[in-house]
Amino acid sequence: MSQHLWSGRFASAPDPDAFDFGVSFPFDRRLFEDDVTGSLAWAEALVACGALSVEDGRAIRDGLLGIREQGRQDPAWIAGDDEDVHSFVERQLVMRIGDAGRRLHTGRSRNEQVSVDLRLYLRRRIPRLQARIRELVQVLADQAERAGASLMPSYTHLRRAMPVLVAHYLLSHAAAFRRDHDRLAAAAAEADALPLGSGAIAGTGYAIDVQALAARLGFSRVVTNSMDASSDRDFAATFVYACSLAMVHLSRLAEDFILMTSEEFGFFELADRSATGSSMMPQKKNPDPLELVRGKAGRAIGHLTGLLITMKGLPTGYNKDLQEDKEPVFDSEDTLQVSLVAARAVLTHLTLRPERTRVAASGLLLATDVADYLVARGVPFRQAHEIVGGIVRDLLAKQQDFGDLRVADWQAYSPHFAADVVEAVTPEASVAARRTPQSTSPGAVRAALAETRLWLESQFS
């Protein structure tokens, strides 16, 4: 067992049963790069304020750069029986450069070190998740383009509501993922504050230029209160929330396509490469990847709940409970990353069956358009709704559709009906009649698709 960073005060070695329980190195090794980054900057700050000699500062820098290089060459080397990644890096440094390495921790606490590491980590990893989100939005836009003028029913209460363009439906998911993209940016912005200089809780006794240190590490500001900083994990919770909500959106997308690729709907065809078979039933083509995306949403939400509960009972200041922040953060990130990739893969190879969606978009779901037809001819909407409700009731009883009515039949319900009702009551006429920019009218959807493409381009530049 390596010597601990705090062994001086203790007469006996720690009980392995109690100590091993508190070890975080197996998972916080993921902060290795960030720990080195933070320490490089801290050493510079110590030199700048005269707390560390230039020679020691140089030795520490060279030592840390060597450690970073070794870790990059051989990630498996970042392992051992150290308590945490901070202890590992410091032990390696002392092994390389001796006493100078023992001066690095001057004026610094692991409480702020773990906070700065996690903030640096999130700020470099969030853009990777955002790139995966953009790739998914791109596929949705490509599929929307390919869908062209194809029509499908929309649903409320999972009952057919009104016809929409398939492209409009696909872009509805893109809209949610773009909010997730923004929410992750907000999480990165929240993590954008330097906690170093807070010491263990009361601040440090060295005149560290924290503004310069913040700038050196790419932070735009410094935390405002050292006591708050030592236990603030709000930025971690915000990140886990952003991941959870993105997983909720992925889960809903997955659920939609599980339904719509089923025999019952048959709106889209799942590619063979995106499906799995049954070990017993030869006919089966199961949407396992989509089901797993839906299932993993539960895990992400569990992490959010768990982290909030870890935080809620803590007295002011750092508490070891906070070590429980890292696994939810890392696993939320991993879960979202693999789910975005899987969802994109499935959507890329999905085929629309436009003849099936067109048929499903016709029929009694055009009732609102019939009511609007009457309103356009002066009938108050409530009355129009009543009249059309009566037509629907009769058609249902006869197992018929609007298309089965002749002009005389229409006029039996209201003298306001004329021959042109036949053209007015089609799914094409229905979508064309929408007027607002957020609607499914073909012009609005074309504009929305163009705007999505512009957004994607602006994110890449």
Q: Rule CB under 6 A: is residue 318 a binding residue for ligand ARG?
A: yes
| Shortest distance in whole angstroms from residue 118 CB to ligand ARG | 8
Amino acid at 114: V
Distance CA 177, CA 175 (A): 6
> Which of 2, 53, 220, 278 does the annotation list as catalytic?
278
Among 52, 114, 174, 243, binds ligand ARG (CB under 6 A): 114
Q: Rule CB under 6 A: is residue 231 a binding residue for ligand ARG?
A: no
Site string for ligand ARG, 36-75 (x = CB under 6 A): ----------------------------------------
- Find out whether 346 and 270 touch, Cβ atoms under 8 Å: yes
Considering only the stretches 51-59, 109-117, 215-223, 242-250, report the one whose residues sit in contact with ligand ARG under the rule CB under 6 A.
Answer: 109-117
- Find out whether 228 and 311 touch, Cβ atoms under 8 Å: no
Among positions 239-278, residues that touch ligand ARG (CB under 6 A) are none
Among positions 433-452, residues that touch ligand ARG (CB under 6 A) are none
Q: Rule CB under 6 A: is residue 28 a binding residue for ligand ARG?
A: yes
Handedness of CA 376, 378, 380, 386 (dihedral sign): negative
| Shortest distance in whole angstroms from residue 188 CB to ligand ARG | 21
Residue 318 or 373 having the CB closest to ligand ARG: 318
Among 35, 82, 84, 180, binds ligand ARG (CB under 6 A): 84
Considering only the stretches 245-253, 261-269, 319-327, 413-421, report the one whose residues sit in contact with ligand ARG under the rule CB under 6 A.
Answer: 319-327
Assign 105 to helix, strand or coil.
coil
Among 70, 138, 323, 368, binds ligand ARG (CB under 6 A): 323
- Find out whether 158 and 259 touch, Cβ atoms under 8 Å: no
Type and span of the H or E element at 155: strand 151-156
Residue 311 or 384 having the CB closest to ligand ARG: 311
To the query of whether residue 7 is one of the catalytic residues in this protein, the response is no
Among 36, 120, 188, 322, binds ligand ARG (CB under 6 A): 322
Number of residues in contact with ligand ARG, rule: CB under 6 A?
Answer: 10
| Shortest distance in whole angstroms from residue 24 CB to ligand ARG | 4
Bridge partners (DSSP) of residue 194 are 222
To the query of whether residue 278 is one of the catalytic residues in this protein, the response is yes
**Distance, C-alpha 33 to centroid of its chain:** 23
**Distance, C-alpha 261 to centroid of its chain:** 24
| Shortest distance in whole angstroms from residue 34 CB to ligand ARG | 13
Residue 202 or 454 having the CB closest to ligand ARG: 202
Type and span of the H or E element at 343: helix 326-348
Query: Which is it for strands 159-165 and 268-269: parallel, antiparallel or unpaired?
Result: unpaired
Q: Rule CB under 6 A: is residue 121 a binding residue for ligand ARG?
A: no
Q: Rule CB under 6 A: is residue 116 a binding residue for ligand ARG?
A: no
Q: Which of 180, 173, 38 is nearest to 110 (CA)?
A: 38
Residue 196 or 246 having the CB closest to ligand ARG: 196
* Helix 442-460, helix 110-147: angle, nearest 10: 140
Q: Rule CB under 6 A: is residue 459 a binding residue for ligand ARG?
A: no
> Which of 12, 157, 279, 458 does the annotation list as catalytic?
157
Query: Which is it for strands 151-156 and 159-165: parallel, antiparallel or unpaired?
Result: antiparallel
Q: Rule CB under 6 A: is residue 108 a binding residue for ligand ARG?
A: no
Considering only the stretches 106-114, 285-293, 373-381, 407-415, report the one whose residues sit in contact with ligand ARG under the rule CB under 6 A.
Answer: 106-114
Cα separations in angstroms, 280 against 167, 277, 283, 284, 387: 37, 9, 9, 9, 53
Cβ neighbour number for residue 436 with a 10 Å cutoff: 8
Among 39, 111, 332, 430, binds ligand ARG (CB under 6 A): 111
- Find out whether 395 and 402 touch, Cβ atoms under 8 Å: yes
Residue 207 C-beta-side C-alpha neighbours within 13 Å: 3
Type and span of the H or E element at 163: strand 159-165
* Binding-site ranges for ligand ARG (CB under 6 A): 24, 28, 84, 110-111, 114, 318, 320, 322-323
Catalytic residue positions, numbered: 157, 278
